[in-house]
Every structure is written in structure tokens, then in C-alpha cells.
Amino acid sequence: MNKISFIKKGTNIPLRFLLTASVILSFSAIISAQIAVKGETVWTMTGEPISNGVVLIKGSKIEAVGTEDQVKIPANYRVISAKVVTPGLIDARTVVGLNGYLGQPHDQMAIDRSASVQPELRAIDAYDARERLVTWLREFGVTTLHTGHQPSALISGQTMIVKTTGNTVEEAMVKPVAMVSVALGQSGMAQGRSPGTRSKAAAMLRAELIKAQESAKKDDPPNDLKGEIMYRVIKGEIPLLVYAEKSLDIMTALRIADEFKIKIILEGAADAHMHLNEIKASGFPVILHPTMARSGGDRENLSMETAGKLKAAGIPFALQSGFEGYVPKTRVILFEAGIAAANGLSRRDALASITIDAARILGIDGRVGSLAVGKDADIALYDGDPLEYVTHCVGTIIDGKIVSEVQR
């Protein structure tokens, strides 16, 4: 039956009305598009993987999840099949969208070196939704990014959370202000100005927190951009994302968090395996360094086994693609998880570190990170085990829309 077969045969209707009817019906089909995703293995991340599973999508949300026997696919649903289906992947810390694929000054916007303390810098004002790296990551099944200013200054600016879709930051937006980026250790030190030592960096950070603390005691929010964002940190509305690789920097971060009773998330944490008890006691999660990051400098003690040790210790963590000056483009978080799975982390836990566990740490698990009824229809499709290097991503769905069908 075609789009206009309901019209009685022989009826004399002007062509323009037939065309109008066809356009309206076609548009209706687009806006009410419904999809059934079938997978030989479906990792829902809410329990054990489902064999011969089905995920129904209606609009932008997941409508049903289960086995083929449990979930009936309506006749009008488009069916897409893959060997393995997972939730859309989440990169828990990156600078993509601020820093671009060219690696040239005009597309490197993740750091402003004019000052060491700039918490007022907003990631949303520098994010380019059309950046080619965003498309590149989307084609590997990465659907959500926690991105923002890089850890190359004591307080470099804000981070945000976006989907890897849309033509503007507004269309991509999930959370406009997620955290404030702080860097302790060598990365946070400046040449020719303060801080030049670890103790100076800690003192400068404390000074900003004390100012905000005084405003909070008076219940008087500051009337300037820098003070306003630090006030929200003191009030517990926004956590500090503290880049601390070395043992002493990790302990400084925990000490300051305890002094000011603020929320922090440890970033990098190459020496985390030396302080498993202290980190666990703090209750703060870790966004671990990229598994395949190069060792050296503050990262001299990093290990591919740290993810497995964090998991064994019961410390919440996620993996990241991160920022490194020698990498001109970006890492793909999927490969970092694959290496972690080969070095002490189970396959399920490796996948969790870039899906549901990442979503929990970022505070967005009510929307993404697992395949469950009512959540955003963000799905990645693969032609094999996604943690194997030879496997390809063959499709990506974001908010119920097929945004990639290339084999990557």
C-alpha cells in the first residue's frame, strides 16, 4: 500500500493536493520514526547481557528491552541488527570540541594561559559542535562527552556534558556546567608567575575557597563571575575536578576537600594504587588516566592495572581519553577500556567504566549509561566484541536518531 492508496480510485483530486498529502505523510513518518535494535548479545548494563535481545525505541526514548521472545517488534518499526549492542559510550573526561583535530592555535581553545586562576571560563562558550573529532568519536559509538578546559593551569575553567550530535552547543547540551577543573602538581604550575611550587598552588587554591567560604557564611553570593562559580563549589552545587597524578598531590586534594567540606572528583590519579584505602575512605570517585597514557613526569608510576585495583578496592571510577599535549587529536575511549580489560579488569567492568559507571560519576545515570525503559535511546552497535581491536562499530543511535551507519 502506498502513501495515498486510501483515496478512492477514480477520484478527481488536483495533483497539488496529492503532493501535499504525500509530504505530510512522509513528514509524519519521520517525526514518529520507531526503531527496533536486535543484537545477538545486548549489554544493557543493568544486569547480565541478553542473548538474542531486542531494544525498542520510540521517539527519543527506550520503549522496551528484552529477549526476542519477550519483546514483540511492531510491524511498522525499522529493524536494525548487530552482533553486539551496548549503551552509547561515555568519555568521562576529554577536551574534544574545545580542542580540534588540526592541532593548530585557532582550534585549540581548552586553555587560556593569561592567568593561573580562571574558574569563570565557560566551556559552552568554546565548544564547537561541528568539530570533526566529535563526528569521529560518534562513529566509534561514543555518544556522550564530559569535556571542557584542560588541566594545564591551577584552575583552568569549567567543564560541561554534551551529546556527540547537533550543530550547536545548545542542541548537544546535557549539562552546561558540570565541574571546575583544577590541576595540582607539575601540570598546574606556571612559568614566570605563581604558582611555581606545589605549596604555592595549594595556598592559592585555599585562598579562593576561603573567599567563597566567607561569602557562604554571610549567605551573600558574590557579584563577579569568578566568585560566583567558587561560591557554588563551596555550597556543594559543583564539584572540583582535581587533576592529581602523584601520591602527594592526591593526598593534598583529599586534605583540601576535607578542610572545606567540598565535593571533588580525582582526575588522572596515576599513583592511586598507593592510596586505595585513603581514596575509598574519602568516598570520592576517580576518573582514571587513559590506560595507554605514556609514563613520565608526574605519571612515572602509572599502570595499566590501576583500573583493576580500583575496582577490587571498591572505588567508583571511570576511564577517560583525557588531554596530553603530545597527542594532536584524541584517543578513543573504547580502546582504553579494551586495554584495561586485558590488564586485570573484567570485560563487564571495562564496559561499565565507559557506560553506566561513567554516567553515575557524572550524575547523568538517570538519562544515559544503560539500556532501560525511559532512558535516552543512545545505542552503539558492533560487529563483534567491542573490546577487541579488530571489531568495528557499525552504527550509532543518539536520542532515537541514527547518527552513523559507517563501519569504523
Q: Is the pLDDT of residue 372 over 80?
A: yes
Q: Is the pLDDT of residue 109 over 50?
A: yes
- 65 domain-assigned: yes
Residues 162 and 271 in one domain: yes
Residues 170 and 113 in one domain: yes
pLDDT at position 328: 67
pLDDT for 152-192, tens place per residue? 999 999 999 999 999 999 999 999 999 999 999 999 998 88
Q: Which of 11-15, 80-84, 219-223, 377-381 has the lowest mean pLDDT?
A: 11-15
CA distance 263 to 241: 9
Residues 286 and 183 in one domain: yes
Residues 83 and 116 in one domain: no
Q: Is the pLDDT of residue 90 over 60?
A: yes
Q: Which of 100-104, 188-192, 244-248 has the highest mean pLDDT?
A: 244-248
Cβ neighbour number for residue 319 with a 10 Å cutoff: 31
Residue 253 vs residues 49, 233, 322, 382: alpha-carbon distances, Å? 38, 14, 19, 39
Query: What CATH number should be reported for the domain holding residue 221?
Result: 3.20.20.140
Mean pLDDT calculated for residue range 144-150: 98
Q: Which of 1-5, 136-140, 388-392, 402-406 has the lowest mean pLDDT?
A: 1-5
Domain count, the chain: 2
- 331 domain-assigned: yes
pLDDT for 252-283, tens place per residue? 999 999 999 999 999 999 999 999 999 999 99
User: pLDDT averaged over the chain?
Assistant: 92
Closest CA to 407 of 57, 54, 33, 390: 390
Q: Is the pLDDT of residue 16 over 80?
A: no
Residues 185 and 286 in one domain: yes
Work out the pLDDT band at 22, boundaries 50, 70, 90.
very low
Work out the pLDDT band at 1, boundaries 50, 70, 90.
very low
What are the E-state strand segments in 73-141?
78-87, 89-94
- 280 domain-assigned: yes
- 22 domain-assigned: no
- 298 domain-assigned: yes
Give residue 355's domain range: 89-362
CA distance 55 to 373: 9
Q: Is the pLDDT of residue 15 over 70?
A: no
Model's pTM, two decimal places? 0.92
Residues 174 and 96 in one domain: yes
- 204 domain-assigned: yes
- 13 domain-assigned: no
Helices (H), 32-147: 132-138
Residues 77 and 95 in one domain: no
pLDDT at position 191: 82
* Phi, psi for residue 24 in degrees, rounded to 5: -60, -45
pLDDT at position 325: 80
Query: Alpha-carbon dihedral of residues 341, 321, 355, 135, nearest 10 degrees?
Result: -120
Q: What percent of the chain stands above pLDDT 90? A: 89
Q: Is the pLDDT of residue 25 over 50?
A: no
Query: What CATH number should be reported for the domain holding residue 378?
Result: 2.30.40.10
CA distance 267 to 159: 13
Residues 250 and 389 in one domain: no
Mean pLDDT calculated for residue range 121-142: 98
Place of cell 520510540: 58
- 320 domain-assigned: yes
Residues 107 and 66 in one domain: no
